[in-house]
Amino acid sequence: MIIAIDGPTASGKGTIAKALAVHFGLPHLDTGLLYRAVGRQVWLRGGNPDDPADALAAAAFPESLLDDPALRSEETGALASRVSVHAPLRAALLVRQQAFARQPGGAVLDGRDIATVIAPEAEAKLFVTASVAARAQRRWLEMQKRGEAVTREAIEADLALRDERDRNRAAAPLRQAEGAALLDTSALPAEAAIAAAIALVEKQLEARP
């Protein structure tokens, strides 16, 4: 059983994907982390994230990089968004993601193109979204907790830029896949969003032929 979760940055899809993995007893892959590792690797090597060759070379990042706390930073998120436009890099990361999705027993994957490209055959598909204001507010609270000084306006501007890049790129743009259930978390606290996601997935599983 594959559960595919897509959506923009800070929509709550990561929290929902983790909770679904626990609820259904499945392994989980945060695919954004792979793009973040590539972005970070390009930066560590002094490369150019807008150069497809530099991005592709960084796909061979060391596995230990996935544990680097710097992957969670806004800077790395912006680098990830830039490297992720390159089709050769996406092709290089596809194999790894599909192998994870197709492991015996199934898996939960979250990202931007899980239901559209990586696993269109998924038994359950969710498109998790929220308003820019709600997402900026969440990101701002997270950063406050980490003691990072940044204004809500700056976060909103960065989110809007990343949305624009993710939705309008030629290679695997972010969009709601056919058959994916829409979940808007703008007004939902985490627990309510998780409960709604479980209900939507169960409905899709019951409707299977």
In whole angstroms, the minimum distance from the beta carbon of 83 to ligand C5P comes to 8
The C-alpha atoms of residue 118 and residue 129 are separated, in whole angstroms, by 19
- Give the interface with ligand C5P as residue ranges (CB under 6 A): 9, 31-32, 35-36, 77, 80-81, 84, 111-113, 162, 166
Taking the least distance from each CB to ligand C5P, the nearer of 106 and 111 is: 111
Taking the least distance from each CB to ligand C5P, the nearer of 103 and 203 is: 103
In whole angstroms, the minimum distance from the beta carbon of 209 to ligand C5P comes to 28
Say which residues have a Cβ less than 8 Å from residue 158's Cβ, sequence separation at least 6.
Answer: 74, 78
- Give CA torsion, residues 37, 38, 39, 43, to 10 deg: 100
Assess contact for 105 and 2: CB atoms under 8 A: no
Taking the least distance from each CB to ligand C5P, the nearer of 87 and 207 is: 87
In whole angstroms, the minimum distance from the beta carbon of 146 to ligand C5P comes to 16
In whole angstroms, the minimum distance from the beta carbon of 189 to ligand C5P comes to 21
In whole angstroms, the minimum distance from the beta carbon of 167 to ligand C5P comes to 10
Find the length of the chain.
209
Say which residues have a Cβ less than 8 Å from residue 204's Cβ, sequence separation at least 6.
Answer: 123, 124, 125, 181
Alpha helices in the chain (DSSP H): 13-24, 32-44, 52-57, 74-83, 87-101, 132-145, 152-168, 190-206
Taking the least distance from each CB to ligand C5P, the nearer of 102 and 203 is: 102
Taking the least distance from each CB to ligand C5P, the nearer of 109 and 200 is: 109
